[in-house]
Each structure stands twice: as structure tokens, then as C-alpha cells.
Amino acid sequence: MADMVLVLTALSFEAAAWRGIPGRGEAWCVAVTGMGPERARRAAAAWLEKIRPHLVIGAGVCGGLLPGDRAGCVVMPDEFAADAPGQPVLRRTWQPKALDDWRGGTLPVVTSGRMVSVERPARTPEEKTALAVRHRARWVDQETYAWCQAALEAGIPFFCLRVVLDAAEEYLPDWRNGRSWRSAVRLPARALAARRALAEAGRRLLCAHL
């Protein structure tokens, strides 16, 4: 569909932020691919074949790898790496108009940097530091590289917009790790705040695109 924008998310709560944007009408299709690189790759390819959009936006939450990117920060990576041997670094191929203007809004925003996608979540500060050093990355997720790769292989521009859920020095909740209990307690509120940030950023992106 020549005028369709495909928004890909890994989880339903991330998709809900985009589906609730007022006035998006039939211009945007929001699809949930599931978590992990392989699921993301398969689902993205299927949706691209089904609707043939003119733009793909990868959206959701991510983890911070460097000090300074706090929870709630909206990030727009311009490079994408995979934590796997032999995979080239990819670059975004679309950006909204007046991208620099985003820095002056109510949301904390970073408009460039590298995202690395991993097979399994980076749960500890030590794992995050290792990824930052190995890939010169600023953020981590599981799906963005696969989404970007599928879009580029189909000849369709790609853009990514995510919200930091856990900072570099924080643990992801893990019942096997007693040091992660603080993260488990604050995760629900963090997730709700991230969904609100995604919705606000999505509205701005819609205005910039249409």
C-alpha cells in the first residue's frame, strides 16, 4: 500500500501506545512481532510482503548502555548492530522533518547513536558495559536489527524510536538475582511511563510525517 506506514513492536503494551494515537486513521498499521531476533525477522518479512508499506518504524522500549541515558529518555538511533559475528552495521534510511527540533520538547530526546540487538536480554550492569565496549553502542534491545534488515532487504526506508526502560547501572528483574528486586518493584510504573512517552513521540512523528 503506497501510503501505508508499518509500525513494528515486540510487545502488545508497546503497540497499544501507537494504536491509541488520535487521527491515525488508515495511514498506519501497527503490528506485534514478538520478542527476539528470529521472531522479529520472520514477522517483519511477512508484514512487509502483506502490505508493502512505504516506511517502517521500529518502536518500543530498550535498555541504556552508557551512563547518562535515564529511564524515560526517547532515543532515535541512527546505527544498528547485531551481537552476532559477521553482521554489518546498518543505518537508518529515513528521519522526520526538523529532527533537531525534537530536543526542545517536553520529552528528553537523543537523536543519534548506535543500538545493538541481542539474542537474550542484557540483565546486569556488567553485561551492558560489555555490549557497549564490544559494539560501541549506546542502547540495547532484541528486535531492531532484524526489523531494519528486513526493511532494507525489501527496499523500504527504516526508522527507529524507542524509550529507555532501564539505565546502564540498573538490573533487569530476574528471580535468580536478589540484587534485581528494586528493578522488579519499579518496572510496572516504568512501563506505563514508557508507553506514555511512546504515545507522545508517536503523535509528534505522525505530525512530522503527514
pTM of the model: 0.90
Question: Locate cell 536480554: which residue?
Answer: 121
* Cell numbers for 46: 511477512
* Cell numbers for 114: 548506535
What pairs with residue 59 in β-bridges?
A: 161
pLDDT tens, N- to C-terminus, the chain (210 residues): 557 899 999 999 999 988 877 655 558 899 999 999 999 999 999 999 999 999 999 999 999 999 888 889 999 999 999 999 999 999 999 988 767 666 656 678 899 999 999 999 998 999 999 999 999 999 999 999 999 999 999 999 999 999 999 999 988 766 555 565 566 567 778 788 888 999 888 888 876 655
Query: In degrees to the nearest 10, what's the CA dihedral of 153, 155, 157, 161?
Result: -20
| Number of domains composing the chain | 1
DSSP state string for the chain: -TT-EEEEESSHHHHHHHHT-TT-TTSEEEEE--SSHHHHHHHHHHHHHHH--SEEEEEEEEEE-STT--TT-EE--SEEEESSTTPPPEE-----TTGGGGGGSSS-EE---EEEE-SS---SHHHHHHHHHHHT-SEEESSHHHHHHHHHHTT--EEEEEEEEE-TTPPPP-TT-GGGHHHHHHHHHHHHHHHHHHHHHHHHHHHHH-
Domain carrying residue 167? 5-209
Distance CA 52, CA 112 (A): 27
Question: Residue 123's domain is classified under what CATH number?
Answer: 3.40.50.1580
